[in-house]
């Protein structure tokens, strides 16, 4: 889900943690420009760049424009929630990176909506229920297994307010080993038959 991976062969690659979007160039000495469009960042998102097999933290970023970057837990942060076009200019001298500049340009403001998920037909053996959800910006109900919820009259009703659609949802027995499949591409209120969608 995080869009990170290792470059292959002699290629240089820059990776953005918010979304898998990779541009490659050969490792010959020179200046390379990488453009990433409509990259979505959640609030307080943490990320890194990756180039030629190495993680790049804040200390490796020579210059950043459009945002004020900071460091948290060894990762880069400081980008406000929203979408950005990112242009990275990387100078490679044949042996290593000598300059790494990142320019962040705010994209079109994200349109948000409210989506209500209704879970029904839970397995009788599930004594606890949690809902896990995410979109392109990250988790929407906390880290796995998500938020513990109550089943009332055989249903769970959970409202996601001010989210960017589409979202994806998993119902699980609060990390007890059972869960639904990924229910993806949800852009409006949806009722989910949990037993019918068990993984």
pLDDT at 28: 64
**Residue that is written with structure tokens 């690659």 in the block:** 13
- CATH number of the domain residue 81 falls in: 2.60.40.3620
pLDDT at 87: 87
Please state, in angstroms and rounded to a whole number, the distance separating the CA atoms of residues 64 and 175: 40
pLDDT at 6: 36
**Residue that is written with structure tokens 């990170």 in the block:** 4
Count of CB atoms situated within 10 Å of the CB of 187: 11
Please state, in angstroms and rounded to a whole number, the distance separating the CA atoms of residues 78 and 76: 7
Structural domain count, the chain = 2
Supply the pTM of this predicted model: 0.54
Last residue of a domain, one of 40, 73, 106: 106
Taking CA atoms, 72 is separated from 23, 45, 57, 58, 154, in Å, by 26, 10, 10, 9, 42
Query: Per the domain annotation, does 73 fall within a domain?
Result: yes
Please state, in angstroms and rounded to a whole number, the distance separating the CA atoms of residues 146 and 187: 20
Query: Per the domain annotation, does 195 fall within a domain?
Result: no
pLDDT at 109: 67
pLDDT at 9: 35
pLDDT at 37: 76
Query: Per the domain annotation, does 1 fall within a domain?
Result: no
Last residue of a domain, one of 106, 133, 158: 106
Q: Are residues 102 and 141 in the same domain?
A: no
Query: Per the domain annotation, does 18 fall within a domain?
Result: yes
Domain of residue 28 covers 11-106
Mean pLDDT, consecutive 10-residue stretches, the chain (199 aa), reads 33 39 52 79 80 80 92 86 84 81 83 94 97 89 95 96 92 97 96 97
Does residue 17 contact residue 25 with C-beta atoms inside 8 Å? no
Q: Is the peptide bond before 166 cis (omega within 30 degrees of 0)?
A: yes
pLDDT at 48: 82
């Amino acid at each position: 889900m995080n869009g990170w991976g290792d470059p292959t062969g002699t290629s240089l690659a820059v990776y953005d943690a918010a979304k898998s979007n990779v541009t490659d160039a050969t490792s010959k000495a020179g200046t390379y420009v990488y453009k990433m469009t409509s990259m979505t960042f959640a609030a307080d998102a943490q990320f890194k760049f990756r180039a030629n097999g190495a993680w790049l933290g804040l200390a490796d970023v020579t210059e950043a424009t459009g945002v004020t970057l900071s460091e948290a837990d060894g990762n880069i942060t400081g980008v406000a929630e929203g979408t950005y076009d990112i242009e990275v200019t990387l100078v490679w001298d044949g042996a290593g990176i000598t300059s790494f500049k990142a320019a962040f340009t705010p994209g079109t403001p994200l349109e948000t909506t409210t989506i209500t998920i209704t879970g029904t037909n839970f397995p009788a053996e599930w004594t606890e229920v949690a809902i896990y959800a995410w979109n392109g910006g990250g988790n929407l109900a906390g880290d796995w297994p998500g938020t513990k919820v109550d089943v009332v009259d055989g249903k769970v009703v959970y409202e996601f307010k001010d989210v960017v659609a589409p979202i994806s949802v998993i119902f699980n027995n609060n990390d007890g080993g059972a869960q639904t499949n990924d229910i993806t591409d949800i852009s409006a209120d949806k009722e989910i038959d949990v037993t019918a969608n068990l993984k």
